[in-house]
Structure 1
Amino acid sequence: MNITQFHTLTDKLFNKIELFLDNYVDEHDIDLDYETNGNVITISFPNGSKIIVNTQEPLFQIWLATRKQGYHFDYVNDNWVCNRTDKPFEIVFSESVKEQSAQ
């Protein structure tokens, strides 16, 4: 992978994250906020917790920091996959949003 490919893939993932969050807010009537600033998305929940997603350009990775723990994702077989659990980003991310948005 080169830097151009990495940016294309991460831009696509960030767009998916924003769409997921918009839909999640609408479906669950929850007041969470998110902000994208360069290569970082910060999601703030009503209970004060945060989730942070950011790119790690030198490593060609996506990092996800949740209240519970941190995850590192590599791009493998057309998917961002956790390098410890082999779970896809979408699963880990959606589970984390659901857990942190619970009242």
Structure 2
Amino acid sequence: MNVTEFHTITDQLFNKIELFLDHFAEEQDIDIDYEINGNVITITFPNQSKIIVNTQEPLYQVWLATDKQGYHFDYVENEWVCTRTKQSFDKIFSQSVTDQATI
């Protein structure tokens, strides 16, 4: 992977995150605020808990910070995979959003 490919793939991920959050907020009838600032998405829930997703260009990784834990993801076979648990970004992210939205 090169830098251009990394940016293309992470841009797609950020778009996917935005769509997921919009759908989740509508489905759950809650107000989720999110802000994208460069390579960082900060998500704030009604209870003021936060999730932060950011890219780590030098490592070609995506990092996810939740109230409970932090995760690092490598891009493996067209999917972001946690370096520790081997679970997909989608699975960990959606579970984290659900958990923090219902605290």
TM bracket, shorter-chain basis? over 0.9
Shift in Å at residue 46 of structure 1?
1.0
Partner in structure 1 of residue 90 of structure 2? 90
CA distance in structure 2 between the partners assigned to 1:5 and 1:59 by the alignment: 13
Partner of 1:59: 59
The CA distance in 1 between the partners of 2:32 and 2:2, in whole Å, is: 34
Partners of 2:14 and 2:5 in 1: CA distance: 14
- Aligned AA for 2:50? K
1:6-25 alpha-carbon deviations (Å, 9 max, x no partner): 00000000000000000001
In structure 1, stretches of 5+ residues that fail to align are none
Percent of pairs with identical residues: 69
Counterpart residue identity of residue 5, structure 2: Q
Superposition pairs of residues 32-51 of structure 1, within 5 angstroms: 32-51=32-51
| 2:17 is aligned with 1:17 | yes
Question: Structure 1 residue 86: deviation in Å?
Answer: 0.4
Aligned-partner SS, 2:80: strand
SS at match of 2:25: helix
Quote how far apart the aligned CAs of 1:69 are: 0.4
**Which consecutive residues of structure 2, in runs of 5 or more, have no partner in the other structure?**
none
Counterpart amino acid of residue 59 in structure 2:
L
Q: Secondary structure at the match of 2:73?
A: strand
**Per-residue deviation at 1:48?**
1.3
Could you say what the CA RMSD is over the residues aligned between the two structures, in angstroms?
Answer: 0.6
TM-score (norm 1): 0.98
